[in-house]
Amino acid sequence: MSIKAVLKLMMNHQLLALTGSNALLKPFYQLNYLVAARECGLFELLLDAPKRFEQLAEVYCTDDKAREALQAWLGLGIQLGYLRLDTRGYALKGLAKKLALPQNDAALALLQEAAGLHSKLISQTVSKLRNGELWNLEDQDGEIVARSSRIIEAFQTEAIDRFFPASGVGSLLEIGCGSGV
């Protein structure tokens, strides 16, 4: 960006708004890319070994335009730090590689819940209220919520161990148990 453009933004009192807004975009793209990569099956495809572009194109593309778009989308994954490309092909990298592991499914589900349900709750609640509507259980993806709730199991176990008697009679009422574990 040229100094002239920066000065113009400053004079119009737009520079701080632009830089502040820009700081929010990368995390937004990162969140949505990780969720999309999981939901389209890319994590499963790349978990064990890198795949060449041709192998990925066979799964995702119907024509040459789709191949161009897939290449751009994979390039975004590289830019965000979640994919790498070498002579063997595309591979998961960093957080994407960790989230693709089965033992991290709850953390990945939490991202899916945030990108889907939480995003809708934040962006659409006022509109629903204006129409006299409230959110219902049907508005949630129960499978994702159950998977994401498993992220707090270690904390639940600790609380039970700490406050629930190890022997003798006791009672426990659990409400909103998530996965039921």
pLDDT in tens, 49-75: 999 999 999 999 999 999 999 999 999
pLDDT recorded at residue 109:
96
Percent of the chain with pLDDT over 90: 67
pLDDT recorded at residue 172:
74
Q: What angle do CA 59, 73, 102 make, to 5 degrees?
A: 65
Q: Which of 127, 64, 53 is nearest to 90 (CA)?
A: 53
More confidently predicted of 47 and 157? 47
CATH class given for the domain over 26-99: mainly alpha
pLDDT exceeds cutoff 70 at 178: no
pLDDT exceeds cutoff 80 at 8: yes
**Where does the pLDDT of residue 17 fall: very low under 50, low under 70, confident under 90, or very high at 90 and above?**
confident
Summarize pLDDT for 153-172 with one digit per residue, the tens: 888 888 888 888 788 887 77
Q: What angle do CA 99, 103, 105 make, to 5 degrees?
A: 55
